[in-house]
Amino acid sequence: MSIPPQTPEALKPLSEWPLWEVFVRSKQGLEHKHCGSLHASDADHALRLARDVYTRRQEGVSIWVVPSSAITASEPNDKAEFFDPSGDKIYRHPTFYAIPDDVGHM
Amino acid sequence: MYTQALDLPDAQHAAVARPAPSDSALQAHFDDKISQEQKIEPRDWMPEHYRKTLVRQISQHAHSEIVGMLPEGNWISRAPSLKRKAILIAKVQDEGGHGLYLYSAAETLGTSRDQMLDALHTGRAKYSSIFNYPTLTWADVGVIGWLVDGAAIMNQIPLCRCSYGPYARAMVRICKEESFHQRQGFESLMVMMQGTSEQQAMVQDAVNRWWWKCLAMFGPPDSDSPNSAQSQRWGIKRISNDDLRQSFVDATVPQAKVLGVSLPDPDLKWNEERQHHDYGAIDWDEFWATVNGNGPCNQERLATRVKAWEDGAWVREAALAHARKNAARSLKEAA
């Protein structure tokens, strides 16, 4: 069925550098955002390569790198059940409540 | 960046996988998403043939970026000024970056970087045939930016809407950077066209040699492009080879006029009825000969690429050994 995004560690030839996910903060005050991945021998190396690959045009002021193997992801095939509990709680949205017009902005 | 509509089957991808009956519900869900223009993400179920088509196309695209560094790289040490050298280095570095974005996108489909590189280095994988032609003069560098990158942009903009999320996102990033490539090429040619008659002749000569190759970059005519229909149904390919080629011709003719060069096609003329330019017949025999390994530089390009990879082996191994040593040391210190 679904194939995981990366080849399992055991199947990889030893010569391939590990895979890292790269997150870049584009400017002060904004969150880090996933922008891609790359291979590097260790964390420092990954940071340097991430700078060269993903911020050649001042796209970032801060970078995080995370080993791809350290990420746990939800199952896409369970999407319906996994996210279902929030589907029927429409009272969590402000538009659920009718407020008289003369109250003004609330 | 660079892709031709290379939809060419590699030897190892000849077999077409049919979904097993048990997959029919998943297939229906997938078809539904495609018809609603939703993106497919790496861990979503997808038909095996869709996965293989993407791996083939994205890796060919990545290989094209990497091999595409070679014809221009030859000119870095021969650039006519420090300014042009800095620009060319930046452009070639971009191509390397584009290759990395694309390899990463292909890896999300379950193929390792080493497998893809091995396919390139052993000659099993294709790359854009445009890089199997030589860059004879400095004007070729400008023409590659203007025409080759121009054709590539025409091809790539629709790929930003590709149904596979990681490919589409990589293409958005690439297209943003690509515009610099085309403009620097055109500007560099403008400077030469304001120079001596020898310089002007050099530009015209380069245009004459590259024009037809650029038209062939869009891939075989629609009538001879059997994989295109399936790719269009899957939302991988959005616009047909011939339509893209027509857009490129229509966009380039006025640019050539501004530059003051002619395009080497006696049949090229405006067709009032179609509201497009007509153009002459492309030599597809030459295109296929080059795709199949018999272009002027196929062997040289691959040999250069393989040599670079092999010469870099000790660096890759040393970096890994260094990382392992450091990891072991910090473990020891922690104990």
Q: B207-221 pLDDT, tens per residue?
A: 999 999 999 999 999
Spatial separation of the C-alpha atoms in residues B68 and B96, rounded to whole Å = 9
- Cβ contact, residue pair A37, B107, below 8 Å: yes
> What's the number of CA atoms in the CB half-sphere (13 Å) around residue A82?
7
Task: Say which residue the tokens 């870099």 belong to.
Answer: B312
Q: Which two tokens stand for residue B83?
A: 């300014």
Q: Phi and psi (nearest 5°) for A56?
A: -70, -20
- Torsion (CA) A75, A77, A82, A87 in degrees, nearest 10: 140
Position B316 pLDDT exceeds 80: yes
- Report chain B residues whose CB lies below 8 A from the CB of A16: 112-114
- Test the A interface: residue of B52, B93, B100 with most A CBs within 10 Å: B100
Q: Residue B1's pLDDT band (boundaries 50, 70, 90)?
A: very low
What's chain B's average pLDDT? 91
CB B175 within 8 A of CB B158: no
**Residue B180: closest C-alpha in chain A:** A57
* pLDDT, tens digit (0-9, with 9 covering 90-100), for B26-57: 899 899 999 999 999 998 999 999 999 999 99
Q: Across the interface, which of A15, A16, A38 has its CB nearest the CB of B104? A: A38
Q: Report how far residue A53's alpha carbon sits from residue A46's, in angstroms, rounded to the nearest whole number.
A: 10
User: Is A1's CB within 8 Å of B45's CB?
Assistant: yes
Radius of gyration of chain A (CA): 21
The nearest alpha carbon in chain B to A8 belongs to: B110
Cβ atoms within 10 Å of A98's Cβ, excluding its own: 6
CB contact under 8 A, A2 and B44: yes
Distance, CA of B149 to CA of B185 (rounded, Å): 9
| pLDDT at residue B20, as a whole number | 53
Which one, of B66, B48, B42, B52, lies nearest residue B117 by Cα? B66
Confidence at B224, pLDDT banded by 50, 70, 90: confident
Among the partner residues B44, B97, B326, nearest to A42 by beta-carbon distance: B326
Closest CA to B238 of B157, B128, B153, B169: B157
Measure in Å the smallest separation between the Cα of A17 and chain B Cα atoms: 7
ipTM of the assembly?
0.83
Q: Do B109 and A53 touch (CB under 8 A)?
A: no
Hey, CA dihedral for B140, B143, B148, B153, is it positive or negative? positive
Residue B8 in this model has a pLDDT that exceeds 90: no
Burial of B170 (0-12, 13-18, 19+ CB in 10 A): buried
pLDDT at B22: 62
C-beta of residue A4 within 8 angstroms of C-beta of residue B110: yes
Name the residue among B182, B141, B131, B71 with its Cα closest to residue B295: B131
Contact call for residues B68 and B131 (beta carbons, < 8 A): yes
Distances (CA, A) of B51 to A2, B33, B147, B269, B276: 11, 15, 31, 42, 36
Q: How far is A6 from chain B (nearest CA, A)?
A: 6
Contact A2 B107 (CB under 8 A): no
Give which of B156, B258, B257 is closest to B268, Cα–Cα: B257
B300-313: average pLDDT: 96
**Which residue does chain B place closest to A38, by CA atoms?**
B104
Q: Which amino acid is at B129?
A: S
Share of chain B above pLDDT 90, in %: 83
pTM over 0.80: yes
Instruction: Give me the pLDDT at residue A14, please.
Output: 56
DSSP B39: P
User: From B42, which residue of chain A is nearest by alpha-carbon distance?
Assistant: A5
Mean pLDDT to the nearest integer, A87-94 = 85
pLDDT tens, position by position, B271-300: 999 999 999 999 999 999 999 999 999 999
Q: Which of A36, A41, A57 sits opposite B319 (nearest CB)?
A: A41
CB contact under 8 A, B316 and A13: no
